[in-house]
Chain A
Amino acid sequence: MSELLKITNLSVKAEDKELLHNVDLIIDEGETHVLMGQNGAGKSTLGCTIMGSPEYTVTGGNIYFDGEDITEETADKRAKRGIFLSFQNPVEIPGVTLSEFLRNSLEQLTGSKMKIWDFKKKLHAAMDVLGMDRAYADRELNVGFSGGEKKKAEILQLLMLKPKLAILDETDSGLDVDAVKTVSKGIEEYRKASNGTLLIITHNAKILESLTVDKTHILADGKNAKDGGGELAFRVLENGFGEVL
């Protein structure tokens, strides 16, 4: 299988503070990886850096996607390559409806105009998978959404945009059991329909249950602490970091 994402020797800082030190990571196409670590270990920093957040500055190392160096690329170019980040705290955009935004985004990624009717059909199908009320399509993007609704809206975008690599940054945190089920269902659907590649940042076993985890990576203090197979993730979830590190 070919390497989809390759990170070598990556160091990252934000506001004069170095948050990641010489991190390496390789994800092959079609695989599901789990990224773990205690609070402040640098998981979200890594996720956001892969997406190209301007908040973080790469001070060393490289990020390759599909064999090409994307370290210096802006977030929209990375999105067009097929990288997707499900945000931990999706930002509110007043006045822009979810459907208007999604259609715009889809047209950017596919590079072609979409008929409103075709778009609506696709959108409704995806909403149905997640059991979302269709009225959400006309609501302002994330404005006044509850935590669960925001996460569902992120997964809805995942289903619509069909990226090659989806990074899920604690998409399951703060959700009740039913909501986690819905989110899991969405992820499963994404895997099935697009044979997508996943990098999941989580503290929760529930979301991993229905997935086959190929590899687990643990970060500590901004460094690679331990890599292992899928079973490592479940060991950590059961016994904590102390036992494995």
Chain B
Amino acid sequence: MDKIRLNVLPSPTFGQLGVNFAERAVGELPSDKIWLEGGCTDITGDAVCSIAAQNGQTVNIIQFINTDKAAHIKTEINAEKYASVSLVQVFACQAPLISQLETKLDENASFDLSQLYIGGLDTVSEIRTTLGGRLSRFNADIAYTLGTGSKLDINLIADHYGKKSVSEINVGGVLNEGSDKVFKGTIDFKSGASGAKGHEKEDVLLAGDNIRNRIVPVILCAEEDVEGSHGATSGRIDDDQIFYMRSRGIPDEQILNILARAKLARVIGKIDDEQVKQRIFKALGWGDLDD
């Protein structure tokens, strides 16, 4: 298998930071496409998935990615005019994984993406969304909890071509001892995308030694009439929060748990499938949580 560059940052920066690309061995993908039309699909190995939402159609899909061997998964989405796609991706594997998600949005189409990364060994995840049509919308809610030896590299790119297209990206997670995360988020306002808006935010809770947390929030802009912002915070639990919870009788070891859960609960709360939720709780080791 040849090594190729994945997760290429559209605008390379200082090489020393190791954020310009992720080099991984990539094999051949299966030639058969799996057409997803709704509900929850389990993915346990290499796969190419396709989602097609026609004019005005609403499609709700859950992918539960759970493999015990190295895998490469590609998902393509095409949303026609006024179509609305909601995709939940749950990553719960203990093997190297490459995930590529490519979405095209036509006029007034909307794409609501929720991603949950639970542990993982070496996950390389690329999310590329083309907001091609006027008034197209992209909403991404991404959460992760990484433990010892977990490595996660996310490269999200929102290309704004359509006038008044909107992207809203929210990322949050917990880095436990010995984990390594890269989040690269690029909002790219192409010339002609007047009235477009793009906002991006990441909040990282640092909860252990020997971590590495890299954040690269990029805005590229070739259009005057746009509104763009990004923000990022990275730190330990806020002292005020600790004091507040202590004053309510919560012991310190619980405080971290509660806040870490809160980071994930935001995304889990969006999942409208009790069975999937139960599986997520199990994967998280929250088995008997009466959430």
Do any beta carbons of A and B sit within 8 angstroms of each other in the complex? no
